[in-house]
Amino acid sequence: MNNFFILAITIVFITGYILIALEHFIKINKAATALLTGVICWTIFVFGHFTEHGADKILLENVSEIASILFFLMGAMTIVEIIDANNGFAIVTSLLGKGSKLKFLFLICLVSFFLSAVLDNLTTTIVMVTLLSKICKSRDDLLLFSGIVIIAVNAGGAWSPIGDVTTTMLWIGGQITSLSIIKKTFLACIACALIPTIIVSFILPNRLEKMESNQHNSLERKDEKLSKFIFFIGISCLLFVPVFKGITHLPPFVGMMLGLSIIWIITEIIHKKNIQTHYHSKTVVGALQRIDMPSILFFLGILLCISALQNAGILNALSTWLDKKIGNLNIIVLLIGTLSAIVDNVPLVAAGIKMYSLTNFPQDSNLWSFLAYCAGTGGSMLVIGSAAGVVAMGLAKIEFFWYLKKIAPLALIGYLSGAGVYLLQQYIIK
Which whole-number Å values give the CA distances from 401 to 31, 145, 270, 339, 398, in the listed order?
Answer: 26, 17, 48, 18, 9
- Contact status, residue 262 vs residue 277, Cβ threshold 8 Å: no
Ranking 196-205, 374-383, 384-393, 395-404 by mean pLDDT, the lowest is 384-393
Query: Is the model's pLDDT at 214 over the cut of 70?
Result: no
User: Number of helices and strands (H, E) in the chain?
Assistant: 21, 2
Per-residue pLDDT at 218: 46
The listed range with the strongest mean pLDDT (146-160, 286-300, 310-324) is 146-160
Percent above pLDDT 90 for the chain: 23
Collapse the DSSP code of 260 into the 3-class scheme (helix H, G, I; strand E, B; otherwise coil) and give the result: helix
Higher pLDDT, 295 or 193: 193
pTM of the model: 0.72
Query: Is the model's pLDDT at 88 over the cut of 60?
Result: yes
How many Cα atoms are found within 13 Å in the side-chain-facing hemisphere of 404? Answer: 6
Rounded-to-integer distance, Cα 317 and Cα 338, Å: 21
What's the burial of 252, exposed, middle or buried (CB within 10 Å: 0-12/13-18/19+)?
Answer: buried
Nearest of 231, 238, 217 to residue 86 by alpha carbon: 231
Rounded-to-integer distance, Cα 72 and Cα 258, Å: 11
pLDDT digit string, tens, across residues 161-203: 888 878 888 888 889 988 999 999 999 999 999 999 999 998 8
pLDDT digit string, tens, across residues 108-139: 999 999 988 887 787 788 778 877 877 787 88
Mean pLDDT of all residues belonging to the chain:
83
